[in-house]
Amino acid sequence: MLDTVVTITLFDWEDPETIDLAFDEISRLEALLSVEKEGSDLDKLAKAAGKSWVTIAPETEEVLRTAKEYATLSEGRFDVTAGPLIDLWDIHDQETGHYPTREELAQTLPLIGSKDLLIEDGKAYLAREGMKVNLGAIAKGYIADKVKEVLVANGVEHAVLDLGRNILLIGGQSEEQAFLIGVQDPNQAQGSLLCTVAASDKSLVTSGVYERYFIYHGQRYHHILDPYTGFPAENGLASVTILSDTSVQGDALSTTCLLLGEEKGMALIESLEGVEALFVTEDGTMTQSSGFGAYLTET
């Protein structure tokens, strides 16, 4: 689901139908928020771009408004209207991708701009034909938070939601014991851990240039695209891990910081209350926010 593998683990819980409630919520929200789903709010918004306003669900409105806030925080680099640029590069794996021509970029970049995503109560509008919203950098986090709400409302007190590197914790593993979450080393093979975090009731989201990329003429091009240049971000960062109270924060901020770079990204994190981060560069250098170390464990 959500173009990834989703794992939900409930601790000290007997009723298996509760898991079904969680996956039903993911399906419901994916049907609204995925631009790839025929008839979704984003599909309708793209088809009406430059023509008419579209009625949207409250959830769609909430995540679009949140996305515009992160566009402001990121100096415009976090931009969910980058859908046409994402489609142009079409990066899926090491074998699949398209290296765009100068002409293709010249046609695509003018279609990007969160200021031209207009939102009113219950409806949205894309100002120019050809514009498209893609929520790949924020939707998983938003959905994880909503699934947590469903599980907590049904009495779950200890759980791990794993939406493909978007980890959201309900409580700890027990009342006395925090969950231990491994952080992938972006410069090593899958499963090689950089460190382990001990946390309860937190979100841990990692974004990295190693996650999705393709090789063209011997060079690697990753999927985190800068809407200013039209190319993958190049600032030396290999991954960003965000520890926060909500997964939507972690999802959006991990991408935002990868686009801003180490200096501006860490300055942003330090300005936000209740958010910590771990940055890893392509040469393996680790930089922590002021409070991240409190969550590290030797285990």
CATH of the domain at 228: 3.10.520.10
At residue 165 the predicted structure's pLDDT band, cuts being 50, 70 and 90, is confident
Calculate mean pLDDT across residues 102-110.
97
User: So what's the pLDDT on residue 29?
Assistant: 98
What percent of the chain clears pLDDT 70, i.e. is strictly above it?
99
pLDDT band at 191 (very low <50, low <70, confident <90, very high): confident
CA distance 81 to 60: 14
Q: What is the pLDDT of residue 190?
A: 84
Residue 234 DSSP label: -
Do residues 82 and 88 make contact, with C-beta atoms less than 8 angstroms apart? no
Whether residue 284 is contained in a domain is answered as yes
Query: What is the separation of C-alpha 95 from the centre of its chain, rounded to a whole number of angstroms?
Result: 23
pLDDT, tens digit (0-9, with 9 covering 90-100), for 114-155: 999 999 999 999 999 999 999 999 999 999 999 999 999 999
Residues 6+ apart with CB under 8 A from 95: 214
- The distance from CA 80 to its chain's CA centroid, rounded to whole angstroms, is 11
Number of domains in the chain: 1
Confidence (pLDDT) at 264:
96
Rounded alpha-carbon distances, angstroms, from residue 31 to 79, 221, 234: 21, 29, 33
What are 241-299's pLDDT values in tens digits? Answer: 999 999 999 999 999 999 999 999 999 999 999 999 999 999 999 999 999 999 999 75
Q: Could you tell me if residue 193 is inside a domain?
A: yes
| Tens-place pLDDT, residues 86-100 | 999 999 766 789 999
Whole-number pLDDT of residue 3: 86
In a domain, 73, yes or no: no
Beta strands in the chain (DSSP E): 6-10, 54-55, 117-120, 123-126, 159-163, 166-170, 179-184, 193-199, 203-208, 213-216, 219-222, 237-244, 276-281, 286-288, 296-297
pLDDT at 131: 98
Q: How confident is the model at residue 212 (pLDDT cuts 50, 70, 90)?
A: confident
4 domain residue, yes or no? no
Q: How far is the C-alpha of 223 from the C-alpha of 89, rounded, in Å? A: 8
Q: What is the mean pLDDT of residues 147-174?
A: 96
Report the pLDDT value the prediction gives residue 94, as an integer from 0 to 100.
64
Q: 161 in a domain, yes or no? A: yes
Percent of the chain at pLDDT above 90?
90
Range of the structural domain that residue 222 is part of: 157-297
Is residue 244 situated within a structural domain?
Answer: yes
**Residue 86 domain flag:** no
Give the pLDDT confidence score for residue 211 in this predicted structure: 80
**Whole-number mean pLDDT of the chain?**
95
Detail the DSSP E strand segments found in 109-267: 117-120, 123-126, 159-163, 166-170, 179-184, 193-199, 203-208, 213-216, 219-222, 237-244
Residue 230 placed within a domain:
yes
